[in-house]
């Protein structure tokens, strides 16, 4: 048991160091953009909360499997740190590079993004311009000592509790409702006030 845990720790060391030193793991995201992710079930669940014929802005689109799960969308605009398709808008939220705010969408999706942001509250403020409705997933920190290393091993760079996240969302003028749970992640529907 200890040997297996040690092997996992050693294997995740490069990701831990990148997260700890605020280095974006572009190689990881490029790989993820090319294959169906293990978290595709989360996108399937999120798609249930997207009204038919919506225009969708998908921040952190990765392999863009949400596009497949929301086939009735009238418009799907993917954004990610790597260009996985010609229509993908390249962004780096940790460096302040966002999609242009010259168009609004019916719904903005932020699935598996917030955990990787050094300034998650700044992100939540900046995305308000894109739509009135948002779907956001987040794996809140529960505060256990061993959890910090596990979060770093996943590449997570912030440790918001559920209470901290929800309090900030309310202060920022979002009406938020936790509509689902996928593994340890909470899925929120947000309405901009």
Report how far apart the first and last C-alpha atoms of the chain are (Å, whole number): 50
- Which domain covers residue 167, as residue numbers? 38-145+158-192
Lowest mean pLDDT among 17-21, 96-100, 111-115: 17-21
* CATH code for the domain in which residue 120 is found: 3.40.50.150
**Domain assignment present for 9:** no
pLDDT, average across residues 26-42:
69
Helix (H), strand (E) counts: the chain: 7, 7
Q: Which residue has the higher pLDDT, 62 or 146?
A: 62
**Domain assignment present for 7:** no
Lowest mean pLDDT among 4-13, 63-72, 149-158, 160-169: 4-13
* Pairwise CA distance, residues 47 & 33, whole Å: 19
pLDDT, average across residues 88-117:
95
* Pairwise CA distance, residues 148 & 130, whole Å: 32
Look up the pTM and report it.
0.82
pLDDT at 6: 47
Read off the tokens for 149. Answer: 């290393």
**Domain assignment present for 106:** yes
For 54, residues 6+ apart whose C-beta sits below 8 A from its C-beta are 70, 73, 74, 75, 105, 106, 107
**Domain assignment present for 31:** no
E strands, the chain, are 55-59, 75-80, 89-90, 107-110, 133-138, 174-182, 185-192
**Domain assignment present for 4:** no
* Pairwise CA distance, residues 181 & 176, whole Å: 14
CA dihedral angle for residue 104, residue 63, residue 24, residue 50, rounded to 10 degrees: 40
> Tell me: the pLDDT tens digits for 38-96?
778 999 999 999 999 999 999 999 999 999 999 999 999 999 999 989 999 999 999 99
**Domain assignment present for 17:** no
In percent, the amount of the chain with pLDDT more than 90 equals 70
Read off the tokens for 22. Answer: 């605020």
pLDDT, average across residues 33-40:
72
* pLDDT confidence band for 22 (50 / 70 / 90): low
Read off the tokens for 114. Answer: 């917030």
**Domain assignment present for 153:** no
Count of domains forming the chain: 1
């Amino acid at each position: 048991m200890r040997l297996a845990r040690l092997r996992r720790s050693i294997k995740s060391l490069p990701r831990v160091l990148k997260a700890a030193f605020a280095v974006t793991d572009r190689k990881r995201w490029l790989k993820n953009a090319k294959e169906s992710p293990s978290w595709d079930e989360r996108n399937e669940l999120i798609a249930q909360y997207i009204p038919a014929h919506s225009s969708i802005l998908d921040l952190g689109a990765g392999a863009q499997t949400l596009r497949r799960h929301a086939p009735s969308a009238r418009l799907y605009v993917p954004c990610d740190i790597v260009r996985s398709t010609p229509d993908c808008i390249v962004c780096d939220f940790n460096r302040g590079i966002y999609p242009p705010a010259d168009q609004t969408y019916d719904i903005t999706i932020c699935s598996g993004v917030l955990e990787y942001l050094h300034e998650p509250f700044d992100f939540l403020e900046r995305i308000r311009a894109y739509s009135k409705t948002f779907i956001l997933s987040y794996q809140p920190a529960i505060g256990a000592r061993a959890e910090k290393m596990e979060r770093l091993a996943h590449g997570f760079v912030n440790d918001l509790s559920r209470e901290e996240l929800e309090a900030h969302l309310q202060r920022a003028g979002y009406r938020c409702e936790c509509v689902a749970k996928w593994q340890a992640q909470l899925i929120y529907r947000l309405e901009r006030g």
